[in-house]
Chain A
Amino acid sequence: MSYVLEIKNVTKKFGDFKAVDSVSFDVEDGGFFSILGGSGCGKTTLLRMISGFEEVTKGELLIRGKSMEGIPPERRPVNIVFQNLALFPMMNVEKNVAFGLQRQRLPKSEVNTRVAEMLERVGLTGFEKKKVTELSGGQRQRVAIARSLVLRPSILLLDEPLGALDRKLREHMKVELKMLQKEIGTTFIYITHDQSEALVMSDRVAVMNEGRFEQIDTPKNLYKNPATSFVAGFVGESNEFDVTSYVDGELTTRNGCKLNKKDLDFQPGKLFMRPEAFILNPTEELEDIELINMKVKTILFDGSNTKISATIKQSQDEVLISLPQNAQFEDLQEGDDIQAGIHSDDIKCYRD
């Protein structure tokens, strides 16, 4: 498999501040790669270095094996879909999409065919003469993507383009973007702070924190086996506890809740438990199950995503627990006593 993008020890400094701190990764051709991180983690800086709007302070950046040092944005085989889309308001849909092709001085007939093809692909045939200000949010989105894709870039960079859409449309566009990427096969690099966007669409996700990559993995592995405590806390929901001691295979949390966890070869500082990892009132025959007695504090009804907040009797710690989809626990009341079990593999421990 060839790499379309290779990043080797790339660092970006603004004064003394390291926005991106010796990051290395490769992106395979034709993949959907996401960079997930909170605001200020350096993901936008990284994207701007790939597109050429920021210079690399240290390290190497190769696209299709070619160093991009000193090559300005207009000559790089990558295109960006900006966060605010940056459509040209004084041009209609057709002219927006044709803008890049015209810069390449292609014959008019070829420009026209390629624009028409691209508009058909994103489902905007018939909108050619419309002003971009007259379009809906989703349509503007598609114009922005078409405008970049029509140039057949090696990589399409997307800078949180779904951020401004309302929730329903965002859910819809997530699926649409993934399908579009599969269909045309261009490599997408997608920047987002929304973990659901990253998990749903990507083949691989890099989690970024304070200028560094914490983990690069498939969405499934990222969720199942977070490599660091940051990833465990950032991706998906999790109950987080400080661990104060680990003696003879027994963990003790700050408030005194004791849990068994065998064979750790380090002194853990934190543990994480996913809300859906708990089994309520487990049957006896399950093995390696930690049983915890709790009292239901509140019920957080949210349709298929309903949870309860419960207090651990032993330590007064609060935990969130997902309710199973069946109606088994429908008449659970606040103040009820309940026993919850968790498999010891689902207790994730980290050094810090």
Chain B
Amino acid sequence: MNKKGSTFYLLLIPVLLWLVVLIVTPHLDLMFRSFRLETDEGNMIFSLNNYLTFFQDKIYWLTFVKTALYSIFVTFLAFVVTFPVAFYLTKVVGKRYSGFMTLLLLIPIWIGELVTVYGWMILLRDNGVINNFLMRIGLIKSPIEMLFTNFSMTIGLLYMSMLFMIVPMMSALDSLDDSLIEAASDLGASKWTIFRQIIIPYTTPGIVSGGIIVFMLVIGDYVAPNILGGKSSLWFTEQIYNKFLASFNWSEGAAFGFLLLLLSSTIIWIALKLTGQKLERVGS
């Protein structure tokens, strides 16, 4: 008993170190910072001013709302795009090929976001591959402006995050016994009913856990909105970045960071409530 106990605590040390040193401490520091204000005399005083800035300037909370809505939208798109793929890989393709095909699917993750984002730029720019092709076949006369818009930003965010949706969804679908689908069909259910009443409820834990990962990645992403979105597509992480590195206002940056944390946590909490899931279950 005693020996077992000591091993347990020994193994707990790295986890605790990681949590305390790399996560809790910097966050506490940021939290204190976010409530501090430097007076004209150079003294630090407690103040809510940093948070007030956010509500006083329209651009900040408009970006905030836009970031939230787009993140939800991209998460939803990721589900729509990846669900058929996950279903195909687990239920249609045989076991022999699905492993290999899943591996192929994960290749973009090896490359790194920055490179794939530049890849999208080559495809989407005015004299890029897509515009060239459309003009060549005569569908359009002049190039469509796709790059540096909300459209290109959405594509970039989706591409970067959607693979993280597939893996939990595939494991949920994998555990779904085919005979459940057959039983539902035998009892008179149409394909749509089977999808809605059997497959979706059964895979909800996988969808929610994949959704949380995608949502967190998207809402906190900086590269895709910054490079593909250009000037017209503001993302809240860019505001935080600007506070820290452009205007060197760490206090306001910290306050904004906490607002983003609050926002993402709230949305995830609502999503869990709506789908009737528990965080522990989704996390496992």
Contacts and interface: CB of A to CB of B under 8 A. Distances in A.
Contacts of A79: 186-187
A145 B265 CA distance: 45
A53 B184 contact: no
Interface string A46-84: 000001010000000000000000001111001110111
Contacts of B182: 53, 73, 80, 82, 86
B187 A89 contact: no
B87 interface: no
Given A86-B177, A88-B198, A89-B202, A103 B188 contact: yes
Contacts of A151: 187-188
A104 interface: yes
Contacts of A83: 179
A209 B179 CA distance: 25
B14 to A, nearest CB: 37
Contacts of B249: none
A341 interface: no
B189 interface: yes
Interface string B171-197: 000000101101111111110010001
Contacts of B198: 88
A145 to B, nearest CB: 13
A261 interface: no
Contacts of A104: 188
B108 interface: no
Contacts of A147: 187
Interface residues of B, number: 17
Which secondary structure dominates chain B's binding surface?
helix
Most chain B CB neighbours (cut-off 10 Å) among A51, A79, A84, A90: A90
Interface in B170-228: 177, 179-180, 182-190, 193, 197-198, 201-202
Interface string A72-113: 111100111011101011100000000110011000000000
A45 interface: no
A103 B183 contact: no
Contacts of B177: 84, 86
B246 to A, nearest CB: 50
Nearest to B182: A53
B194 to A, nearest CB: 9
Contact of A90 (B186, B187, B193, B202): B202
A340 B143 CA distance: 100
A74 B202 contact: no
B264 to A, nearest CB: 28
B188 A88 contact: no
A272 to B, nearest CB: 38
A99 B186 contact: no
A80 B186 contact: yes
Contacts of B179: 82-84, 86
Which of A51, A100, A104, A147 gathers the greatest number of chain B CB atoms within 10 Å? A100
Contacts of A103: 187-190, 193
B277 to A, nearest CB: 12
Contacts of A84: 177, 179
Contacts of A73: 182, 185-186
Given A84-B179, A86-B182, A99 B187 contact: yes
A78 B183 CA distance: 12
A34 interface: no
Contact of A100 (B180, B187, B190, B202): B187
A80 B186 CA distance: 7
A315 to B, nearest CB: 50
Nearest to B202: A90
B266 to A, nearest CB: 27
B190 A82 contact: no
B188 A86 contact: no
B188 A100 contact: yes
B202 A99 contact: no
Nearest to B181: A86
A99 B201 contact: no
A90 B202 CA distance: 7
B186 A88 contact: no
A154 interface: no
Contacts of A72: 185
A285 to B, nearest CB: 60
Given A74-B190, A103-B193, A86 B183 contact: yes
Interface in B75-114: none
A311 interface: no
B201 A74 contact: no
Nearest to B198: A88
B172 to A, nearest CB: 12
A147 to B, nearest CB: 7
B180 A74 contact: no
Nearest to A51: B186
B181 to A, nearest CB: 9
Contact of A88 (B180, B185, B190, B193): B180
A83 B184 CA distance: 15
A187 interface: no
A220 B248 CA distance: 94
B185 A74 contact: yes
Interface of B: 177, 179-180, 182-190, 193, 197-198, 201-202
13 contacts: A53-B186, A73-B182, A73-B186, A74-B186, A80-B182, A80-B183, A80-B186, A82-B179, A88-B184, A90-B201, A99-B189, A103-B189, A151-B188
Given A73-B186, A99-B184, A103-B189, 18 more contacts: A72-B185, A73-B185, A74-B187, A74-B189, A80-B182, A80-B183, A80-B186, A82-B179, A82-B183, A84-B177, A86-B180, A89-B202, A90-B202, A99-B197, A103-B193, A147-B187, A151-B187, A151-B188
Q: Which 6 A-B pairs have the closest CB atoms?
A: A100-B187, A86-B183, A103-B188, A86-B179, A90-B201, A74-B188
